[in-house]
Amino acid sequence: MADGLNCPEEFKLKPHSVLPRGKPCVVCILDGFGENKHKDQYNAVHSARTPNVDKLRANAQRCRFVQAHGTWVGLPSDDDMGNSEVGHNAIGSGKVYKQGASLVDAALESGDLFKGDGFNHVKQAFVAGGTLHLIGLLSNGGVHARYEQLKQLFRGSFEAGAKRIRLHVLTDGRDVPDGTSIEFVGQLEKDLEDLRAKGCDALIASGGGRMHVTMDRYEADWGIVERGWKAHVLGEAPHKFTSAVEAVTELRKLPKANDQFLEPFVIVDEKTGDAVGTIQDNDAVVLFNYRSDRMVEISKAFEYENFTSFDRVRYPKNLKFAGMLQYDGDLKLPANYLVPPPFIEKTSGEYMVKNGLSIFACSETQKFGHVTFFWNGNRSGYFDEKRETYVEIPSDKCPFNEKPDMKTREITEAGIAALKSGRYDLLRINYASPDMVGHTGSLEATIRACETCDKCLGELLAEVDKLGGVYLVCSDHGNADDMVQRNKKAGQPL
């Protein structure tokens, strides 16, 4: 399988002293399957029947628990939760880099953000009289965005000459407790009032829940992005209000409503009924999320003139568009961004292919990018297409608690088939269900997800053993291990 005869000297690896050559190595990520000190009924990992993981844990010589959040993975503070993107960057590269929030914090603190090419690009629009539109997640969860960064961004933009600013906010309820949307919107209204007192025409213009409006990922459901385009750009939504606080308060009263899935809304002028912040020709748009996966699709809608994933109806001309970061390095998307991305080179995947090893990577849509793009250092595509096979199993298009097994069975079948083929030296497998079902908040469904994951893991590892191979089973961060909000001091469920 491996030859590595033409491997550059800087990438050349010595034979491992223990691991067998010519046998497959499987790295299996149980996404969101964390270790937690609270081993009660709200810990789905603890409550689930997981004989295969239990067997692995029982081997004290080979089982280790490591930190997957905060400064251990390059995030600014140890209060910052780990996430799949940061986790797969770290696992794939074997190194710790400053990550999204840290990069943005540093750029804001130094003022470099307001001096760079990206900001100067959008500045062309608002110094000429155009409106600056800011679109992103209204949250301090630290996974996709931070409220303090948003506040510094619109204040700094005003100081740099923006006289008219419109906010298009997506409510969270996933990285922060459900129901906090009202609190975040209320605080934003107060901060915008302070900005208006200084002479800036600053208003909230539109919004909706993050899982229903704008923030789709991996092209799982373009309808989510289309709803965002209609609200943010066209000023069209099924719900119209004269204030954002009223919007989130009233929409949360709808049946089964929660912050993640709030209906799209548009803010209108009390007198005229017109939308207060449609995106027009010659305006500027900044996506203020720093995490990439849920900004790629909306970036394509703004950036690509020949865009066909949905009918945009109207495409603003001469738009000055930028992301907080560049969300896809290979696609150069977006072309303009406020903060340069982390430079992650010499990832494990690159080392492997340059040493003549063949790689198989597989997950379902929701985590496919994690075992490819994020694993490879935020890089799309292959290092060597002849030596790499990437398999994506399409995820179900429904709330994941309704089908908590997700595509765990299909991923396992694909992995076993790849092992039996004898074609691959290294196999990367990601089971998405503990994390994605955990995000729904359904304890019963998450327990089921963990149990199915464990069963399929056992089948996968049994095949590795038959072939005399080796495996590394790990997680990228926690989630399913704590399914309740807790008192921070005592740890008691609230």
Q: Which of 252, 235, 326 is nearest to 289 (CA)?
A: 326
452 contacts 51 by C-beta, under 8 angstroms: no
Cβ burial, residue 201 (10 Å; 0-12/13-18/19+): middle
Give kind and range of the element (H or E) at residue 136.
Answer: strand 132-138
β-pairing, 239-241 vs 284-287, is: unpaired
Cβ neighbours of residue 209 closer than 8 Å, sequence gap 6 or more: 170, 171, 173, 258, 259, 260, 261, 262, 263
d(CA 83, CA 86): 6
The residues pairing with 285 across neighbouring beta strands, listed in sequence order, are: 133, 321
Q: Which amino acid is at 122?
A: V
Provide the 10 A C-beta neighbour count for residue 18: 5
Query: 84 an active-site residue?
Result: yes
Provide the 10 A C-beta neighbour count for residue 486: 14
d(CA 354, CA 11): 7
d(CA 272, CA 140): 34
Judged by DSSP in three states, 486 sits in: strand
Provide the token pair at 143. Answer: 């996974």
Judged by DSSP in three states, 153 sits in: helix
Question: DSSP string spanning 363-411?
Answer: EEHHHHTIIIIITTTS--S-S-TTTEEEEEEPPPSS-GGGSTTTTHHHH
Out of 47, 84, 358, 395, the active site residue is: 84
Active site (catalytic) residues: 84
